[in-house]
Amino acid sequence: FHHEDDYQLCSTIDNEQAIILKPGMFAVFMPGEPHKPGCVVGEPGEIKKVVVKVKADLMA
């Protein structure tokens, strides 16, 4: 885990699942849930990525 930049690289993800997002859709990943950005189904297209970090103790 790279604490300074807040990310971790991994070669495999246990129980990996795939989701295909279409225009107007979004995904939410909770702390501790790995995700695999940069995947493309079909032709590459423009996307917008937003990262919002909320302190874990505020989510209780």
d(CA 9, CA 35): 10
If you average pLDDT over every residue of the chain, what do you get? 83
The model's pTM is 0.59
Instruction: Tell whether the model's pLDDT for residue 31 goes beyond 80.
Output: no
d(CA 59, CA 30): 10
CA atoms within a 13 Å half-sphere pointing along the CA-CB vector of 8: 11
Instruction: Tell whether the model's pLDDT for residue 54 goes beyond 80.
Output: yes
Average pLDDT of span 33-39: 79
Rounded (5°) CA angle 47-31-1? 90
For residue 45, give Cα distances in angstroms to 51, 54, 56, 57.
19, 29, 33, 36
pLDDT at 1: 80
* Structural domain boundaries in the chain: 1-60
Average pLDDT of span 8-33: 85
